[in-house]
Amino acid sequence: MGQYGAEELLKQLNELYSKYKFMEAQLQRSKGVLKAKLPDITNALEMVEYLQATSDDFAVDFQLSDCVWTRAQVPRTDSVALWLGANVMLEYSHEEAKELLERNLGNANTALQSTDEDLKFLKEQITTCEVNLSRVYNYTVVSRQGK
């Protein structure tokens, strides 16, 4: 504090605190996106496994609009089309689709775990920054009272 002064140090700590809070918000958003993807990947994997195990045609009910449902007969196929995002859909064999979905599920779980660890570290940094902010602020209050 002797080199920069308390006011400059408070300014730098507030800037650092703002950066940490921004990074925390970004990680929370990323975690939300990952959590939203997990059920979709799991459902797609279960459907591919079901299609792989089914040897006959089967019927499905699906929604056409808000209050309109219909039934369709789905023939047995050896391939499945997966929506990859960004307006891209590719056709895979059941085995390839299962491998891809399992890999995506593993990657999503790993990324979620990594994000949780990053959030934990960031929360520790935020707490440290808050403590330092309060100490410097208290120092400025005490030093003003002493003048």
Is residue 142's pLDDT more than 70? Answer: yes
Full set of structural domains in the chain with CATH: 6-146 (1.10.287.370)
> How do residues 53-91 score in pLDDT, each as one tens digit?
988 898 999 899 999 999 999 898 899 999 888 899 999
**pLDDT tens profile 98-127:** 999 999 999 999 999 999 999 999 999 999
pTM here is 0.78
Mean pLDDT over each residue of the chain, to the nearest integer: 92
Amino acid 144: pLDDT: 82
Model confidence at 16: pLDDT above 90: yes
Residue with tokens 């590719």: 90
Most distant CA pair in the chain, distance: 89
Rounded to whole angstroms, the Cα distance separating 120 from 109 reads 17
CA distance 13 to 11: 6
Of 30-34, 97-101, 122-126, 136-140, which range is least confident?
136-140
Q: What is the pLDDT of residue 68?
A: 94
Q: Tell me what pLDDT residue 145 has.
A: 85
